[in-house]
């Protein structure tokens, strides 16, 4: 968390991932999570510090699965297609269901600034059923969160994806996505 720039912000909407996952596990655990992580209510459309987001995600992951917090992050992030910064989640789900994966990936690449105000993403279509999603200065766990978020998004497009991470540094690399 200390590596994340102090100025970096993430849309309040994404804070819901951890809260929803903890609430689903146990309403009693929610109070523990809030006390340990310092979590508080956030407006979905406002931007909040990335460091607070990372802290809340990390605490939730450990509380949800002490043995495999990375797996817990992945399970939380697989739900990202249910979140949308501009429209109701149901409408976004319908939007994805009618799109080719290329369209969904292009949308993600073009609209990153609606979600966060740091780093870069670049989408590169490498074939008719494959793409690379390049990351520069991505502080949200590429190998767990980003892999699962992209997997969930592609699944909502009606394909069977395989997404893997290739890291050049802890915060730079790419996702390799293939689908059938």
User: Within this chain, do residues 96 and 174 fall inside the same structural domain, yes or no?
Assistant: yes
Angle 57-61-62 (CA atoms, 0-180°, nearest 5)?
125
Check pLDDT > 70 for residue 96. no
Where does the pLDDT of residue 90 fall: very low under 50, low under 70, confident under 90, or very high at 90 and above?
A: low
Q: Is residue 17 part of a domain?
A: yes
Q: Is residue 85 part of a domain?
A: no
CATH no. for residue 109? Answer: 3.90.1520.10
Whole-angstrom Cα distance, residue 72 to residue 49? 22
What backbone torsions phi and psi does residue 76 show, to the nearest 5 degrees?
-65, -45
Give the residue-averaged pLDDT of 152-158.
Answer: 88
Q: Note the pTM of the prediction, 2 decimals.
A: 0.88
Alpha-carbon distances of 17 from 28, 40, 56, 170, rounded to whole Å? 17, 13, 10, 22
Q: Which of 44-58, 71-85, 102-116, 152-166 has the lowest mean pLDDT?
A: 71-85
Q: How many domains does the chain have?
A: 2
For position 88, what pLDDT does the model report?
A: 52
Higher pLDDT: 85 or 90? It is 90
Give the residue-averaged pLDDT of 31-56.
Answer: 94
User: Within this chain, do residues 113 and 174 fall inside the same structural domain, yes or no?
Assistant: yes
User: Within this chain, do residues 15 and 65 fall inside the same structural domain, yes or no?
Assistant: yes
* Domain termination residue (choose one: 80, 105, 126): 80
Q: Is residue 4 part of a domain?
A: no
Q: Which residue has the tokens 């997997």?
A: 151
3-state secondary structure of 33: helix
Query: Per the structure block, which two tokens stand in for 14?
Result: 């994404």
Give the residue-averaged pLDDT of 28-36.
Answer: 95
User: Within this chain, do residues 98 and 165 fall inside the same structural domain, yes or no?
Assistant: yes
Structural domain of residue 164, as residue ranges?
91-179
Contacts of 98 (CB under 8 A, 6+ apart): none
Q: Is residue 138 part of a domain?
A: yes
Q: What is the pLDDT of residues 128-138, one digit of tens each?
A: 999 999 999 99
User: Within this chain, do residues 54 and 107 fall inside the same structural domain, yes or no?
Assistant: no
Give the residue-averaged pLDDT of 86-112.
Answer: 73
Whole-angstrom Cα distance, residue 21 to residue 180? 29
For position 86, what pLDDT does the model report?
A: 45
- Mean pLDDT over all residues of the chain? 90
Q: What is the pLDDT of residues 47-85, one digit of tens each?
A: 999 999 999 999 999 999 999 999 999 999 987 766 654
For position 87, what pLDDT does the model report?
A: 45
Q: Is residue 142 part of a domain?
A: yes
């Amino acid at each position: 968390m200390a590596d994340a720039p102090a100025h970096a912000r993430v849309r309040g909407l994404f804070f819901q991932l951890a809260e929803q996952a903890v609430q689903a596990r146990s309403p009693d655990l929610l109070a523990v999570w809030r006390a340990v992580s310092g979590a508080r209510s956030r407006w979905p459309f406002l931007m909040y510090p990335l460091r607070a987001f990372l802290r809340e995600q990390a605490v939730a992951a450990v509380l949800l699965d002490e043995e495999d917090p990375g797996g817990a992050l992945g399970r939380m992030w697989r739900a990202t297609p249910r979140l949308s910064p501009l429209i109701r989640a149901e409408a976004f789900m319908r939007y994805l269901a009618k799109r080719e994966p290329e369209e969904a990936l292009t949308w993600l690449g073009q609209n990153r600034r609606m979600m966060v105000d740091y780093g870069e993403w670049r989408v590169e279509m490498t074939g008719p059923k494959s793409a690379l999603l390049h990351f520069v200065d991505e502080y949200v766990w590429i190998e767990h969160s980003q892999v699962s978020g992209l997997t969930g998004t592609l699944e909502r497009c009606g394909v069977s994806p395989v997404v893997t991470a290739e890291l050049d540094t802890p915060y730079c690399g790419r996702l390799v996505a293939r689908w059938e």
